[in-house]
Structure 1
Amino acid sequence: MMWPSIALLAFVTLQRLGELVLARRNTAALLASGAKEVAPEHYPVMVALHAGWIIGLWLLASGRPIALFWFLVFMGLQVLRLWVLATLKGRWTTRIIILPGAPLVRSGPYRFLRHPNYTIVVGEIAALPLAFGLPLYAIVFSLLNALVLYVRVKAENAALKSAMILK
């Protein structure tokens, strides 16, 4: 049966496309209210990584059985993703956007982690390929994601610190 894997891949693809629309809208609103983008040079690499991850899954995972445990882990991460989106509301974006004078969000999952969205993405990049029985794929993309996140988190923390938001 191919339809479960196709349905899961379609869900993830549509979710990511919807998030890009939301991010673009939020970014435009933030910039219009005086926010500044920081360290945009890594953004195309991050987009390429995520696009490659999804495209590769379509090529390799379509029609494969889905391991229930890893599927449930992945779906649990989706609940946490919604929590992040609900907490940040209009401040959620895929870019590093600093709004001068805005306090750092410390509610929701941000009470527990400085970067919960990145933690969720780390889990997703590994869990979804593992749900399709693709451990090497999970390892390769997890390592690539770690490189991108190293650059991104470093840039984001520096931007927050320079904006006097992060102490």
Structure 2
Amino acid sequence: MILSILILSFVTLQRLAELLWARRNTRALLARGAYEVAPEHYPHIVAVHAAWLFGLWIVAWNAPVNLLWLAAFGVLQGLRIWVLVALGPRWTTRILVVPGEKLVRSGPYRYLSHPNYAVVAGEIAALPLAFGQPLFALVFTVVNGVVLYTRIKAENRALSQ
């Protein structure tokens, strides 16, 4: 039980810190002339992620932890950091385009167009599985996939301009 609470606390604090960093980066990018693309989908992304985390607190706060799935989640955290470092001050939770800026092609972006979304998809499945919640993992993987489909289409349009 204590391990579950520690893991959920870590993920909650991590996500809150990332939101603060994203907000700071968003303000800085907008000040440099960036514009937002497809903001209408953003509340859906926020809702999915908030529901996922809130739901995990409800179903998993006292669950036993599968260390193999927890290790997989840990590997995904390393990949998450790689993505964040590669994007640096350009990382945000919104789709922002800075006119004249080149696309990031370093780090994981050498191998995938959207590595952050691959990491998030893995996390949305792996953490519930670490708590023995396969149905929860399946439901949120599908819901996240639907939201990501819309987001990736919008981001690809924005990045191709």
Q: Give the TM-score taking structure 2 as reference length.
A: 0.99
Partner of 1:26: 25
Partner of 1:165: none
For residues 133 and 5 of structure 2, the distance between their equivalents in structure 1, rounded to whole angstroms, comes to 16
Aligned-residue sequence identity (percent) comes to 63
Partner of 1:117: 116
Partner of 1:43: 42
Deviation above 3 Å: which 4+ runs of structure 1?
Answer: none
Unaligned runs of 5+ in 1: 163-167
The one-letter code of the counterpart of 2:94 is R
Confirm or deny that 1:160 pairs with 2:155. Answer: no
Partner of 2:133: 134
Partner of 2:71: 72
Q: Give the TM-score taking structure 1 as reference length.
A: 0.96
For residues 96 and 10 of structure 1, the distance between their equivalents in structure 2, rounded to whole angstroms, comes to 28
The one-letter code of the counterpart of 1:75 is G
The one-letter code of the counterpart of 1:84 is V
The 3-state SS of whatever aligns with 2:126 is helix
Q: How much does 1:79 deviate?
A: 0.5
Q: How much does 1:147 deviate?
A: 0.3
The one-letter code of the counterpart of 1:78 is Q
The one-letter code of the counterpart of 1:155 is A
> What does the per-residue CA deviation read over 1:26-77, in whole Å, with 9 as the maximum and x for residues that have no partner?
0000000000000000001100100000000000001111101100000100
The one-letter code of the counterpart of 1:13 is T
Partner of 2:7: 8
For residues 121 and 7 of structure 1, the distance between their equivalents in structure 2, rounded to whole angstroms, comes to 20
Q: How much does 1:133 deviate?
A: 0.3
For residues 120 and 65 of structure 1, the distance between their equivalents in structure 2, rounded to whole angstroms, comes to 24
Partner of 1:92: 91
For residues 146 and 62 of structure 1, the distance between their equivalents in structure 2, rounded to whole angstroms, comes to 25
Q: How does 1:140-151 map to 2 (within 5 A)?
A: 140-151=139-150
For residues 91 and 75 of structure 1, the distance between their equivalents in structure 2, rounded to whole angstroms, comes to 24
> What does the per-residue CA deviation read over 1:94-152, in whole Å, with 9 as the maximum and x for residues that have no partner?
00001111000000000000000000000000000000000000000000000000000
The one-letter code of the counterpart of 1:132 is F
For residues 106 and 161 of structure 1, the distance between their equivalents in structure 2, rounded to whole angstroms, comes to 14
Confirm or deny that 1:17 pairs with 2:22. Answer: no
